Amino acid sequence: MFFRLLYQSFRRQQRRKLLAGIAVTVGVAVATAMIAIVVDVGDKINRELRSYGANIVVYPQEAALDVRIGDQEVKPATSGSYLNESVLPNIKGIFWGHNILAFAPFLETHASIEGREVRVIGTYFDKKLRFGTEEFTTGVRQLFPWWKVEGGTWPDDESNSVLIGSQLAKTLHRAWEQGDLTEFGRVSGILTTGGPEDVAIVVPLSVAQKLAHASNAIDKIYVSALTKPEDAFARRDPERMNPADHDRWYCSPYANSVAYQLQEVFPGARAEQIRQAAQNEGTVLSHISGMMLLIALASLVAAALAVSAAMATTVLERRQEVGLMKALGATATAIGSLFVTEASLLALGAGLIGFALGDVIAQRIGQAVFHSTVAITPVLLPIVIFLALVVTIGGSAAAINRALKLDPVIVLRGDA
């Protein structure tokens, strides 16, 4: 009899059940998409943010740090202490080597042009390196994608071609163009960065090393690494941790732990996160994740309200049926079980359809915003089904409670 009543309920109230099912399906689909994006998209958002430059800098321990955030220089550099260029490929060998998106070494010196002493900055433009069997390309073109070369092309790292900063080119005695010769190389183009490079000559690292008479030498290294937002655990001193906490900290992709591993690669070096960049990334990630979770919550609440309205109408239409069951001896538990089972079956079907629809929505958002797919893990399915049950049964609770309080005498007499 119980299953017959269930069947008759879905058969006779198809429109009500369909409206409630659509509401739950849409709510669950949106929630599925948002949760999937929050879970999977952290690295994608971080990778997008990493296109805005470095978040870690490495420099000799005994040298003062020349930090540049935008066009602001925080500390002057001290000459005479260098890192070894030959060690650079080993950066890919750290525990989080695959999270290193790009890095670029820098060596600063001076040279005379037109009788004027100017800054010369040596770096990698688009350098091919090898670590073990892995070959990769790195340099300022990957690290600082907003650097622009006008009136020419990027230099080759193995050539003597140079770039003249846009502001320096304007202040020299004559206008410099592509192909012009300096004392140490041919001009490849005019560089615009919005930073100190605009008033300098930027050259391949090997050229700067010859000018500085310092082979295999670099002043500092800027590194762009995929990291997770900093929390209280990330800020702890690893030297004061117990072995278990140290291993957990070391194996977490915090900017601090990646910097710590970079110090192990370069003996006598100091590595620090560029704190403003790391903190801004964490803030953006938390805001985006919070917004998506808020959208998911709002969609579930809206679905619950829709279910509540549909179930209230359903109970109103079925009040005589409920009154008859009570008159025939049906207990409140049996009647409540019938309505809860109806809601659960509705939630199960809507949850499965909503999960599939949410997958489609997540993929569309992933392709439109991040130009990549969003992976939805199977463990998300039971979570989605649970949410569908909570929404459907929660939205039905008030109507079910009202049905259990109906007086069969009044209902069957037609007074209610």
- Quote the pLDDT of residue 2: 54
- Quote the pLDDT of residue 65: 47
- Quote the pLDDT of residue 7: 52
- List the structure tokens of 413: 């007499």
Nearest to 269 by CA among 94, 74, 124, 53: 94
- Quote the pLDDT of residue 287: 74
pTM of the prediction?
Answer: 0.64
Per-residue pLDDT of the chain (416 residues; tens, 9 = 90+): 555 655 556 666 667 778 888 888 999 899 888 888 877 766 666 666 656 678 899 999 876 545 554 544 554 444 458 999 999 999 999 999 999 999 999 999 998 887 888 999 999 999 999 998 999 999 999 999 899 999 889 999 998 899 999 999 888 867 677 777 777 788 999 999 988 999 999 999 999 999 999 999 999 999 999 888 778 898 898 989 999 999 999 999 888 999 999 999 998 899 988 865 555 555 666 777 788 888 888 888 888 888 888 777 777 666 667 676 777 677 777 777 777 888 888 889 898 999 999 999 988 888 887 677 787 778 888 988 998 898 888 888 887 777 776 666 666 665 55
- Quote the pLDDT of residue 304: 86
- List the structure tokens of 42: 């952290």
Report yes or no: 367 and 373 within 8 Å, Cβ to Cβ: yes
Q: Using CA atoms in the order 401, 405, 410, 414, what is the torsion angle rounded to 10 degrees?
A: 0
Write the CB contacts of 161 (distance below 8 Å, at least 6 apart in sequence). Answer: 155, 185, 186, 187, 188, 204
- Quote the pLDDT of residue 76: 47
- Quote the pLDDT of residue 280: 58
- Quote the pLDDT of residue 67: 53
Report yes or no: 17 and 343 within 8 Å, Cβ to Cβ: no
Euclidean distance between CA atoms 241 and 255, whole angstroms: 17
Burial letters for 5-17: b for 16+ Cβ neighbours within 10 Å, e otherwise? beeebeeebeebb
- List the structure tokens of 291: 């917004």
Report yes or no: 385 and 351 within 8 Å, Cβ to Cβ: yes
Euclidean distance between CA atoms 243 and 260, whole angstroms: 16
In the chain, where are the structural domains located? Answer: 2-44+283-413, 55-273
